Amino acid sequence: MPEPAAPGAALVPLPDLDADGRAAFTHDGREYAVFTLDGQVVVTDGACPHKGGPLAEGLVKDGAVRCPWHWYTFDLVTGACRNAQAPALRRHEVLDVDGRPHARVVPPATVSLAERLRAHARGED
Ligand code: FES
């Protein structure tokens, strides 16, 4: 079985996907969203990087998910926001463990207030 790669990382078995190839799950108090893009399973944070909207409920179109709260649109391949200045959507590696897909979920790094203020001054939030 592969080892978690980063401190705090965990291998989490993915739930069954719905008819649209989507799912959501919670691990260690955090939400995650699962999408299918061109036959590949993509796992992202479930909370939108903008203000925490529920991305698992977002519209998936043209390789991106649109948050239902303010319509920021995140590329599912790169995580980059396509239509606003926003932090990238965090993606999580998907790997096969004993024939079952798992996500290697990594908690976000703790960011100091000073780092958040600098990012805000750069227009990144
Ligand atoms: S919370 Fe997602 S776009 Fe604002």
User: For residue range 23-39, what is the model confidence (pLDDT) as tens digits?
Assistant: 999 999 999 999 999 99
Q: β-pairing, 64-66 with 23-27?
A: unpaired
What per-residue confidence (pLDDT) applies to 114?
A: 85
pTM: 0.85
In a domain, 88, yes or no: yes
Exposed e or buried b per residue across 66-103, where buried means at least 16 C-beta atoms within 10 angstroms of its C-beta: bbeeeebbbbbeebebeeeebbebbbbeeeeeeeebbb
**Residue 95 belongs to a domain:** yes
- What's the domain count of the chain? 1
CA distance 121 to 100: 43
Task: Give domain status of residue 51, yes or no.
Answer: yes
Say how many Å lie between the CA of residue 100 and the centre of ligand 1.
32
Task: Say what the pLDDT of residue 123 is.
Answer: 78
pLDDT (tens digit per residue) in 44-95: 999 999 999 999 999 999 999 999 999 999 999 999 999 999 999 999 999 9
Q: Strand 64-66: give its sheet, edge to edge.
A: 59-61, 64-66, 73-75
What is the distance of C-alpha 91 from the center of its chain? 4
pLDDT higher than threshold 90 for residue 120: no
Domain of 81, in residue numbers: 10-121
pLDDT tens for 13-24 read: 999 999 999 999
For residue 5, tell me if it sits in a domain: no
Q: Which protein residues touch ligand 1 with a CB less than 6 Å away?
A: 48, 50-53, 67, 69-70, 72
Which pair of structure tokens corresponds to residue 83? 């239509």
The domain that contains 25 carries what CATH number?
Answer: 2.102.10.10
